């Protein structure tokens, strides 16, 4: 309303959500962004994910007996990349300026935000991870806040004021970086000042794949967008549209496709400077060969899991403005409350994205200094006849590629509108268990069990999603997932 554009709005809202949902995201985290410029359907991608400190090495962790990167400690903390990305996008794409963009988050960090019901629910489940200074900054009188209690983050307000005035260097060089470094080094981290000073977001080229009449556009690795495209390619080998959209047959085929696509992810997806099998993952013949392994009536054994660790804590924002600029932005600290480590003075909670590395010697995603880990978070867009018709995203950690595939299939195979495609019940095969939401019947669960699946009803809803359909008549149609506290807003 003040004349800013979609990028200004997306960054402003994302940073504010770090105060509203600190268990999900924050300035100690990473982001990935897809966007189009006004009047253009060319999709641009920015990788705002951070790297392992230069001195990090999987061999050191293996020697001390670790099988995985310990998720709640300094070894799992990669350098936060989101602030550099936000500053870069504000300066190059935004119109309003950092001071205007960060003003709402600064205000609410100072004044406080009443804690929403879903946030309070998540907060209470994650507090055991908070340690040291993090307990002082993210608990109220030693406890998780109740619904309606006001959470304040004055230290983060000061950080944002300095970023608004001085840009990204205020965060990555000097007192604020030193505050983060001290917390990491006190916890045994090998991080040094140069690791922070050298952070730089990377402009990348999106990847895309067709599914029936539309094209799904994804951010390239180190995110897992290629996994979503591989899964869609596998599903395209089956006639999903003739199946019951809420039946066991469809769930089974999706579960089997996800096992195969995620197995490929675990083998191949890594820092793009180290990854060599992207073309193989996206090749149609790869999907055909994998689809041929699926028995329509019987569950296959679960592929061997890699040691990378997954989560369900992320925020996703999409914005379309009056000039047609489109932004699809996802922003996260990985696990609930990330590493559980916060800096003492400013209360910056640090992500644990390094838990996305493997300690397997020689693996493309092996923990090494300066590498980006395999990331779960993926923004998406949909094109039709060359035009960007829908930015969308599905939160939920490992679920995200399966969520992209399910959302796309709901639209294309069953003709659902965006809100119905989001509302529809979900299932997800994860860690040997096929989680089937309460929206499905017991008969469906029984059929899946008969096929050999280990079926469970998840304790919490699977993921969350947002989307904006740019209709051919010029109207914008927003959709937001009732599983989360999000909403669709327009003016």
Residue 89 neighbours by CB under 8 Å, 6+ apart:
7, 11, 33, 35, 46
CA angle 267, 401, 277 (to 5 degrees): 30
Residue 138 CB neighbours (<10 A):
24
Q: Give CA torsion, residues 207, 256, 31, 69, to 10 deg.
A: -120
> In the annotation, is 127 catalytic?
no
Residues with Cβ within 8 Å of residue 422, at least 6 apart in sequence: 407, 465, 466, 467, 479, 480, 481
Check: CB of residue 36 under 8 Å from CB of residue 356: no
Task: Please name which of 366, 395, 355, 301 lies closest in space to residue 32, comparing C-alpha atoms.
Answer: 395
Q: By the 8 A CB rule, do 332 and 325 touch?
A: no
Q: How far apart are CA 263 and CA 89, in angstroms?
A: 34
Closest by CA position to 179, among listed 380, 298, 341: 341
Q: Is 210 left (phi over 0), alpha (psi -120 to 50) or beta?
A: beta
Given the residues 314, 318, 326, 376, the one annotated as active site: 314
User: Is the Cβ–Cβ distance between 51 and 192 less than 8 Å?
Assistant: no
Instruction: Report in angstroms the alpha-carbon separations of 299 from 55, 213, 248.
Output: 43, 30, 12
Strands 379-384 and 214-218: antiparallel
CA atoms within 13 A on the CB side of 224: 33
Q: String of b and e for 417-431 (b: at least 16 CB within 10 Å)?
A: ebbebbbbbbbbbbe
H or E element that contains 126: helix 117-126
CA dist 465 and 115 (Å) reads 21
The C-alpha atoms of residue 230 and residue 234 are separated, in whole angstroms, by: 6
Query: Residue 125 CB: number of other CB atoms within 10 A?
Result: 14
- Residue 230 DSSP class: H
308's tokens:
């990378």
Which residue matches tokens 């007996």? Answer: 65
- Residues designated catalytic: 314
């Amino acid at each position: 309303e003040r004349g800013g554009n979609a990028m200004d709005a997306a960054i402003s809202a994302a940073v504010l959500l770090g105060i509203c949902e600190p268990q999900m995201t924050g300035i100690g985290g990473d982001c990935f962004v897809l966007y189009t410029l006004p009047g253009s359907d060319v999709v641009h991608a920015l990788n705002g994910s951070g790297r392992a400190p230069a001195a990090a090495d999987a061999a050191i962790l293996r020697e001390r007996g670790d099988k995985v990167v310990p998720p709640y400690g300094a070894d799992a903390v990669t350098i936060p990349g989101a602030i550099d990305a936000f500053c870069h996008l504000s300066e190059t794409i935004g119109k309003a300026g950092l001071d205007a963009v960060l003003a709402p988050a600064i205000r609410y960090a100072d004044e406080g935000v009443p804690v929403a019901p879903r946030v309070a629910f998540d907060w209470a489940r994650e507090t055991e991870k908070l340690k040291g200074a993090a307990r002082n900054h993210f608990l109220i009188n030693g406890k998780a806040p109740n619904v309606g209690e006001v959470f304040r983050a004055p230290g983060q307000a000061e950080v944002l004021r300095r970023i608004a005035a001085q840009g990204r260097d205020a965060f990555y060089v000097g007192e604020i970086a030193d505050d983060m470094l001290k917390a990491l080094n006190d916890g045994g981290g090998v991080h040094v000042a140069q690791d922070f000073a050298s952070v730089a977001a990377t402009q990348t080229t999106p990847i895309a794949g067709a599914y029936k009449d539309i094209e799904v556009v994804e951010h390239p690795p180190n995110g897992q967008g290629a996994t979503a495209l591989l899964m869609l390619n596998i599903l395209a080998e089956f006639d999903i549209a003739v199946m019951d959209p809420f039946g066991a047959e469809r769930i089974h085929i999706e579960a089997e496709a996800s096992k195969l696509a995620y197995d490929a992810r675990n083998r191949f997806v890594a820092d793009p400077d180290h990854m060599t099998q992207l073309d193989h993952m996206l090749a149609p013949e790869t999907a055909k060969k994998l689809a041929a392994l699926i028995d329509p009536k019987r569950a296959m054994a679960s592929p061997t899991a890699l040691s990378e660790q997954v989560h369900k804590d992320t925020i996703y924002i999409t914005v379309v403005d009056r000039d047609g600029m489109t932004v699809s932005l996802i922003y996260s600290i990985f696990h609930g409350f990330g590493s559980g480590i916060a800096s003492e003075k400013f209360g910056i909670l640090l992500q644990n994205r390094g838990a996305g590395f493997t300690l397997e010697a020689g693996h493309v995603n092996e923990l090494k200094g300066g590498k980006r880990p395999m990331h779960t978070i993926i923004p998406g867009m949909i094109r039709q006849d060359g035009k960007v018709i829908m930015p969308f995203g599905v939160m939920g950690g490992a679920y995200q590629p399966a969520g992209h595939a399910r959302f796309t299939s709901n639209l294309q195979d069953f003709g659902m509108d965006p809100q119905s495609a989001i509302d529809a019940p979900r299932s997800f095969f994860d860690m040997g268990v096929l989680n089937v939401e309460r929206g499905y019947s017991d008969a469906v669960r029984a059929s899946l069990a008969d096929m050999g699946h280990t079926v469970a009803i998840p304790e919490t809803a699977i993921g969350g999603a947002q989307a904006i359909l740019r209709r051919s008549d010029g109207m914008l149609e927003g959709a937001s997932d009732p599983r989360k506290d999000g909403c669709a807003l327009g003016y």
